């Protein structure tokens, strides 16, 4: 086709083709990139490539590629015949990706030929969109074909699919001959690309020629940047409020990395341009700036290797090649320092710019160009560092391939390591966020600017060439449409149509036969480019500008370097405050996704799920146990207390000092950001820290209560409440120190945490302190008391050890310290417990204690009911000692009586246990009830003491109400409030409800039956007390008075006569001898319909005390 014969230039559609092909090239680069990664990874490559049955066929296909003849060599392809359907299914995506690439290559080369045939004149200062789009397409095309040559097993994949297709359809796939030829042609991509681009050298030359002024002005050293005050708003304070204006405004923030790629790819693969001295100088400058050039994402190529590969086969190019080699070596020596100085300058410049814009955000309107320039320059330096980090050692070998000592002496090895990089990243992300925050301000400013200045200026300039300018009707329509849209600018405008119309106008007026010369009307081109630059700040164009200048999604493809930079930032106290910027960078990771490669979204999701699963597995108890085992395999040296405060000199700092500084820096990093928006999810650092601290506090409390800090071994018993309270106070002090650096709701944190610890389980489903202490006090400490190892002292208001039965906690270790009950049950410990678990926790413990008391009372009723006849005889024969003796003997020796004295089991058994009489069982249960009641009263007393200190007004008000002349039954209404504040009433509402519930469950609904059992129970206790005195380890003395009331029968005196007479009858037996030596016995029952109290007076001396 002869493009010169096209009558209507608008039919060429260069603008539309450049837009579509550039987007298609980026999408194809994404697909080829993922294909390359998949083929190079054994886990993700097609399974057929490792199939042993296909080895012979694969080797033959690769050797004869692209010639595939199924008919002549059918035996070779027999293994493919068995798997042809599966091969086509699995490899079709790969094959047709190459087919799409073939079509794209043809379309791009056809466009290049058309632009050269129509003598397009490119100038970045005038037809900016046309020039940049063309150069981008050249670079994308070159990158695409070079990346294609790096795909492993491409011949195998294509050959297998073509062979399977031929066998299945008895004919070759239509695209395979051309596709195979493309693969062969681009086996050496530089040679073929030189041929492809050689015909377009005039278009490339004009584009790069126009780039010289901008590139040399932008690619300067840090000293020159500082002297020229490129991004300083304070260099010229008089013009601070004026809008920044240049004739090349859109080129001022153009990426140096992008321009390097244009120059290096354009000149290297179109080597005829090296004969032009100006372009040779431009190429040498680019080589000194970028030793490695980006192909796509993390794929790079050495600039000198590429040009040397192109020039070596050519004649008379040795001198030029040697010059370029010397430039390359010089660049290796100086390039690293050049960029290090730039990063240092940009850190200071961006910090100054950020602080000024935060203080005066209104400057974002007129001085937004300085922001784009600063962001673009900073991103260029970051990309240079990432691009050269992994390949730097290879570059150093080019500098001195045989002398490693010379490399070490040169100090170039660590030139790509920058400890202060997080600070540069921080100010880049903060300025970016500042622009997003003030997007409405920027948009409003430029709406007024375009309507008040740009649109009138363009209208005036367009009127000058409206007559005999040579514009066609279509071109006049495009210009009129652009100016009209700018004049009617509004906040919700879609600027894509304006940009495309101007792009079309550039393409139409840049061809050779156009009668309108855009270079003649340069003022109009500059004004239009400036107006469209301003238009980008309205609506969605601002996001595009941010993506062009400050997108850091490149970090997504350097995960190892990302982790290294983050770790170095956290390990360096001076930079740890900037660590939050790495979280901001994660919000950029979705920008490289392309709709032409939708499967990449699934890959990212699968990777996120895999990482999440790995995190869960790494935090399982088994994994944590292995970590602890590895950590504690070596013996830790004993460190003396206070070692952290010892300094050998004035220079080193202690670990506490460094950790304090580190904590302050990390808090500073969190405090700078209120929320992060990552892939549509809002992350709030303050709330995240709050939840993590809450989780840590709960975990640390459980860890401390169970484990020994020094040996990290489980403790035999939980720590004392006073120790836990001291630990909690230490945690509070530490978090108060943290609150100084980073203000968060510390009160809510402790309230939430301690409230959780007062329940049965916390928010994570773990045991709480209330649950742990409830189990331990009820099932361990009170069980020891029931087996006579512990005694209750009313005088000391605590449980104490029985001196005659003291044993270590661990019987296997004689050196183990004795368990001291008073260390857990004295008033100080119980007050500490009340402070930790609070009224809710005490109520939780009290409910468990009351439930056990009610269970024991129910079992006592069962014993009484089973021995009803004997107790009735004792009741009516209390004045006959011999008869009572027979009954006591019968109850002491009977084997068919109920038993089971432990209070650990929730449901008592009434089955016979060998060796325990009903009388012993009854006494044991009464003792258990007394112990639990005593412990419960101690808890109430401790809680009341704590509340008197913490809430004296509330407690005093409640105390006045209790002591008021109200009837006892009326006080039942405040029973719950009294129990929650540690006050005891004569009517124990909780115990009454528990007994009533169990009585109903066990069939004690009849009041007469209940009354009768209560009377017999008193008789049973009366005839059993002397049996307690016969125990050789006990001495018993009591002055007793009894009250029997609330049955409302008026026979309290008669019932007391029965009780006393029964005791006298037993005590008058000649065989009975006993001593009354000590004690306090409290036996308290509260039923729905009856109450019995047996009260005693304490003796200061004790050897053993039973609480009844």
Q: Measured in whole angstroms, how far is the alpha carbon of residue 259 from the centre of its chain?
A: 38
Q: What is the pLDDT of residues 91-143, one digit of tens each?
A: 888 899 999 999 999 999 999 999 999 989 899 988 999 999 999 999 999 99
Distance separating alpha carbons of residues 199 and 179, to the nearest angstrom: 23
What's the rounded mean pLDDT across residues 630-638?
56
Residue 897's pLDDT band, with cuts at 50, 70 and 90, is very low
- Cβ neighbours of residue 422 under 8 Å, at least 6 residues apart? 565, 568, 569, 575, 578, 579, 581, 582
Range of lowest pLDDT (332-336, 696-700, 787-791, 859-863) = 787-791
* DSSP SS3 for 292: strand
Residue 791's pLDDT band, with cuts at 50, 70 and 90, is confident
Asked if 944 contacts 983 with a C-beta cutoff of 8 angstroms, the reply is: yes
Residue 52: its pLDDT value, please?
Answer: 79
What's the rounded mean pLDDT across residues 537-543?
87
Tell me which of 253 and 670 has the higher pLDDT. Answer: 253
Check whether 256 has a pLDDT greater than 90.
yes
Check whether 257 has a pLDDT greater than 90.
yes
Q: Tell me which residue has tokens 């410049």.
A: 349
Check whether 429 has a pLDDT greater than 60.
yes
As a whole-number percent, the residues of the chain with pLDDT over 70 amount to: 82
What's the alpha-carbon Rg for the chain, to the nearest Å? 45
Q: Facing residues of 800 across strands?
A: 791
Residue 812: its pLDDT value, please?
Answer: 42
Tell me which of 397 and 849 has the higher pLDDT. Answer: 849
Tell me which of 641 and 595 has the higher pLDDT. Answer: 595
* DSSP SS3 for 519: coil
Helices within 1002-1068 (DSSP H only): 1007-1029, 1052-1067
Helices within 390-515 (DSSP H only): 392-399, 404-410, 421-437, 439-449, 455-464, 473-487, 496-509
Q: What is the pLDDT of residues 64-94, one digit of tens each?
A: 888 877 766 667 777 788 788 888 888 888 8
What's the rounded mean pLDDT across residues 616-631?
70
- pTM here? 0.68
Q: Tell me which residue has tokens 């500082």.
A: 226
Check whether 537 has a pLDDT greater than 60.
yes
Residue 574's pLDDT band, with cuts at 50, 70 and 90, is confident
Closest CA to 35 of 144, 188, 193: 144
Asked if 795 contacts 1078 with a C-beta cutoff of 8 angstroms, the reply is: no
Distance separating alpha carbons of residues 691 and 1076, to the nearest angstrom: 60
Hey, what are 284's tokens? 């040498």
Check whether 320 has a pLDDT greater than 60.
yes
Check whether 193 has a pLDDT greater than 50.
yes
Check whether 161 has a pLDDT greater than 60.
yes
Q: Facing residues of 1044 across strands?
A: 1092
Closest CA to 1087 of 1026, 1022, 1000: 1000
What's the rounded mean pLDDT across residues 191-208?
91
Asked if 992 contacts 969 with a C-beta cutoff of 8 angstroms, the reply is: no
Distance separating alpha carbons of residues 816 and 708, to the nearest angstrom: 14
Q: What is the pLDDT of residues 711-728, one digit of tens each?
A: 566 777 888 999 999 999
Residue 1039: its pLDDT value, please?
Answer: 29
Range of lowest pLDDT (217-231, 518-532, 768-782, 1077-1091) = 1077-1091
Element (H, E) at 952: helix 952-962
Asked if 196 contacts 109 with a C-beta cutoff of 8 angstroms, the reply is: yes
Check whether 910 has a pLDDT greater than 80.
no
Give me the half-sphere count of Cα atoms (radius 13 Å) on the Cβ side of residue 884: 26
- Cβ neighbours of residue 225 under 8 Å, at least 6 residues apart? 342, 345, 349, 377
3-state secondary structure 843-896: HHHHHHHHHHHHHHHHHHHHHHHHCHHHHHHHHHCCCCHHHHHHHHHHHHHCCC
Closest CA to 241 of 366, 391, 374, 74: 366
As a whole-number percent, the residues of the chain with pLDDT over 90 amount to: 29
Residue 734: its pLDDT value, please?
Answer: 82
Output the CA angle 179-180-184, nearest 5 degrees. Answer: 120
Dihedrals phi, psi of 1099, to nearest 5 degrees: -115, 135
Residue 1080: its pLDDT value, please?
Answer: 28
Distance separating alpha carbons of residues 306 and 310, to the nearest angstrom: 6
Check whether 631 has a pLDDT greater than 90.
no
Closest CA to 854 of 689, 701, 989, 1055: 989
Check whether 1029 has a pLDDT greater than 70.
no
Residue 364: its pLDDT value, please?
Answer: 92
Residue 403: its pLDDT value, please?
Answer: 56
Residue 597: its pLDDT value, please?
Answer: 85
Q: What is the pLDDT of residues 445-489, one digit of tens each?
A: 999 999 999 999 999 988 877 655 678 888 889 999 999 999 988
CB atoms within 10 A of CB 491: 10
């Amino acid at each position: 086709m002869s493009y010169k014969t096209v009558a209507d230039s608008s039919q060429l559609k260069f603008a539309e083709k450049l837009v579509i092909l550039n987007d298609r090239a980026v999408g194809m680069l994404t697909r080829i990139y993922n294909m390359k990664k998949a083929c190079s990874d054994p886990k993700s490559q097609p399974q057929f490539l490792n199939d042993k049955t296909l080895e012979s066929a694969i080797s033959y296909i690769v050797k004869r590629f692209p010639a595939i003849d199924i008919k002549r060599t059918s035996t070779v392809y027999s293994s493919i015949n068995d798997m042809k359907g599966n091969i086509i299914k699995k490899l079709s995506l790969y094959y047709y990706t190459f087919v799409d690439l073939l079509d794209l290559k043809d379309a791009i080369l056809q466009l290049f030929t058309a632009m050269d045939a129509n003598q397009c004149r490119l100038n970045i200062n005038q037809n900016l969109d046309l020039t940049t789009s063309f150069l981008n397409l050249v670079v994308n095309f070159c990158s695409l074909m070079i990346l294609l040559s790096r795909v492993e097993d491409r011949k195998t994949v294509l050959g297998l699919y073509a062979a399977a297709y031929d066998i299945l359809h008895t004919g070759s796939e239509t695209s395979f001959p051309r596709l195979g030829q493309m693969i062969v042609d681009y086996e050496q991509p530089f040679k073929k690309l030189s041929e492809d681009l050689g015909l377009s050298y005039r278009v490339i030359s004009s584009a790069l020629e126009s780039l010289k002024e901008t590139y040399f002005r932008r690619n300067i050293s840090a000293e020159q940047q500082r002297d020229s005050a490129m991004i300083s708003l304070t260099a010229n304070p008089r013009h601070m409020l004026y809008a920044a204006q240049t004739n090349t405004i859109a080129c001022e923030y153009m990426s140096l990395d992008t321009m390097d790629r244009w120059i290096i790819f354009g000149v290297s693969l179109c080597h005829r341009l090296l004969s032009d001295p100006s372009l040779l100088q431009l190429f040498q400058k680019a080589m000194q700036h970028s030793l490695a050039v980006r192909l796509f994402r993390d794929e790079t190529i050495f600039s000198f290797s590429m040009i040397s590969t192109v020039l070596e086969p050519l004649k008379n190019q040795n001198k030029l090649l040697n010059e370029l080699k010397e430039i390359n070596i010089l660049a290796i020596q100086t390039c690293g320092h050049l960029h290090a100085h730039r990063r240092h300058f940009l850190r200071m410049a961006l910090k100054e710019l950020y602080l000024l814009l935060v203080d005066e955000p209104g400057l974002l309107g007129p001085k937004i160009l300085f922001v784009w320039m600063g962001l673009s320059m900073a991103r260029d330096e970051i990309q240079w560092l990432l691009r050269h980090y992994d390949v730097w050692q290879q570059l150093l070998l080019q500098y001195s391939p045989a002398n490693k000592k010379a490399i070490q002496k040169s100090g170039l090895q660590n030139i790509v390591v920058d400890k202060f990089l997080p600070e540069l990243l921080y100010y880049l992300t903060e300025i970016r966020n500042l622009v997003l925050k003030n997007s409405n301000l920027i948009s409003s400013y430029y709406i007024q600017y375009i309507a008040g200045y740009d649109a009138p200026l363009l209208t005036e300039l367009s009127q000058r060439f409206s007559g005999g300018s040579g514009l066609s009707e279509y071109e006049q329509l495009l210009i009129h449409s652009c100016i009209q849209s700018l004049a009617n600018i509004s906040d919700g405008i879609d600027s894509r149509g304006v940009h495309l119309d101007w792009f079309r106008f550039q393409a139409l007026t840049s061809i050779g036969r156009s009668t309108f010369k855009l270079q003649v009307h340069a003022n109009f081109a500059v004004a239009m480019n400036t107006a469209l630059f301003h238009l980008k700040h309205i609506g969605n164009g601002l996001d595009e500008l941010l993506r062009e200048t400050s997108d850091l999604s490149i970090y997504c493809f350097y995960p190892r370097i990302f982790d290294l930079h983050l770790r170095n930032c956290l390990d360096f106290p001076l930079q740890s405050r900037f660590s939050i910027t790495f979280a901001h960078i994660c919000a950029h990771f979705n920008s490289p996704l392309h709709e032409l490669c939708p499967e990449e979204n699934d890959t990212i999701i699968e990777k996120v799920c895999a990482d999440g699963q790995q995190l869960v597995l790494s935090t399982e108890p088994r994994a944590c146990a292995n970590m602890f085992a590895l950590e504690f395999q070596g013996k830790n040296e004993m460190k003396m207390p206070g070692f952290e405060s010892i300094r050998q000199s004035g220079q080193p700092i202690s670990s506490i000092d460094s950790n304090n500084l580190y904590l302050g820096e990390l808090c500073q990093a969190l405090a700078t950001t209120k929320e992060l928006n990552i892939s549509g999810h809002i992350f709030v650092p303050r709330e995240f820290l709050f939840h993590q601290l809450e989780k840590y506090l709960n975990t640390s409390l459980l860890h401390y209560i169970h484990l020994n800090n020094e040996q990290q071994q489980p403790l035999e018993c939980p720590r004392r409440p006073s120790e836990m309270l001291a630990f909690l106070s230490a945690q509070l002090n530490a978090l108060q120190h943290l609150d100084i650096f980073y203000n968060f709701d510390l009160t809510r944190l402790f309230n939430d945490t301690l409230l959780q610890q007062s329940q049965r389980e916390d928010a994570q489903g773990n045991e709480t302190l209330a649950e742990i202490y409830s189990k331990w006090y009820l099932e361990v400490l009170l069980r020891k008391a029931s087996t006579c190892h512990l005694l209750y002292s009313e005088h000391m208001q605590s449980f104490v050890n029985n001196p005659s039965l003291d044993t270590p906690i661990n019987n296997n270790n004689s050196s183990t310290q004795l368990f001291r009950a008073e260390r857990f049950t004295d008033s100080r410990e119980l007050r500490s417990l009340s402070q930790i678990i609070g009224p809710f926790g005490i109520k939780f413990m009290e409910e468990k204690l009351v439930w056990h008391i009610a269970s024991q009372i129910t079992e006592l009723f069962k014993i009484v009911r089973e021995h009803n006849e004997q107790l009735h005889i004792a009741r009516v024969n209390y004045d006959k000692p011999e008869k009572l003796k027979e009954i006591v003997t019968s109850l002491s020796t009977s084997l068919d009586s109920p038993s089971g004295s432990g209070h650990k089991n929730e449901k008592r058994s009434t089955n016979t246990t060998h060796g325990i009489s009903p009388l012993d069982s009854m006494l044991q249960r009464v003792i258990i009830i007394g112990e639990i009641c005593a412990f419960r009263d101690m808890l109430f007393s401790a809680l009341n003491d704590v509340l008197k200190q913490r809430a004296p007004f509330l407690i005093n008000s409640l105390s006045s109400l209790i002591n008021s002349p109200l009837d006892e039954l009326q006080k039942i209404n405040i029973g719950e409030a009294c129990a929650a504040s540690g006050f005891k009433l004569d009517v124990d509402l909780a115990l009454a409800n528990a007994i009533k519930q169990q009585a109903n469950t066990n069939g004690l609904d009849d009041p007469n039956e209940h009354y009768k059992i209560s009377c017999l129970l008193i008789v049973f206790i009366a005839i059993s007390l002397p049996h307690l005195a016969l125990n050789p380890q006990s001495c018993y003395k009591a002055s007793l008075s009894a009250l029997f009331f609330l049955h409302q029968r008026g026979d309290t005196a008669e019932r007391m006569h029965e009780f006393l007479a029964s005791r006298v009858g037993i005590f008058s037996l000649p065989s009975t001898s006993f001593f009354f030596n000590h004690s306090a016995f409290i036996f308290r029952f509260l039923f729905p319909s009856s109450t019995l109290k047996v009260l005693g007076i304490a003796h200061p001396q004790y050897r053993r005390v039973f609480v009844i």
